[in-house]
Amino acid sequence: MALREIVFLPDPVLRRKAHKVTAFDSDLQVLIDDMIETMREAPGVGLAAPQVGVLQRVIVVEYAEDEEDEDGPKKLYVLVNPEIVQVSKETELGIEGCLSVPGLVGEVDRHTGLTVKGLNRRGQPVKYKVNGWLARIFQHEIDHLDGIVYTDRATRVWKPREGEEAPVD
């Protein structure tokens, strides 16, 4: 495993649509392992392949299963070719940050719940029904696969004040 360099706006790779993964080979496994290590080191709660300069539809997400216990056990999700197949009618404004947009945060309206399907790292189908911040993280990461950065959806973007903590993808 190795740390990969995270690309920042205005790098054009962040504006391109990622390609569907068709080969579940050793290169993909290395990419996934590197993405997990890079996300954890950053630190972040999610990372999409375009954020490390790779135009493949791969995301990794790691988030505490109990939102109230941020230091509690975290669950790791690896999704290849993810698709949002159902969304809640309810949406909610929330503050987001991004490893590819350092130093800024924004207020983004996202669905409060969704169902996402895709393939795991071995190519087997998986489906998750997620809510709250986990749903927000999945939407944020899947946007990256379509060349969308949270600032495109934000109602307002600002530089956080010293000591103001912002969630980072």
Query: Residue 17's domain is classified under what CATH number?
Result: 3.90.45.10
In a domain, 38, yes or no: yes
Please give the DSSP secondary-structure letter assigned to residue 138: H
In a domain, 166, yes or no: no
Whether the CA torsion 24, 27, 78, 166 is positive or negative: it is negative
Would you say residue 57 lies in a domain?
Answer: yes
44 DSSP 8-state letter? -
Locus of tokens 């299963």? 65
Residues known to be catalytic: 141
Please state the pTM of the whole predicted model. Answer: 0.93
Count of domains forming the chain:
1
Q: What is the pLDDT of residues 80-115, one digit of tens each?
A: 999 999 999 999 999 999 999 999 999 999 999 999
pLDDT digits (tens, 9 = 90+) for 36-73: 999 999 999 999 999 999 999 999 999 986 666 666 78
Instruction: Report whether 46 contacts 61 (CB < 8 A).
Output: yes
Q: Is residue 86 part of a domain?
A: yes
Strands annotated E in 9-124: 46-48, 58-64, 74-87, 91-96, 105-111, 113-119
Whether residue 71 is contained in a domain is answered as yes
Q: Which domain holds residue 66?
A: 12-158
DSSP, collapsed to helix, strand or coil, labels residue 31 as helix
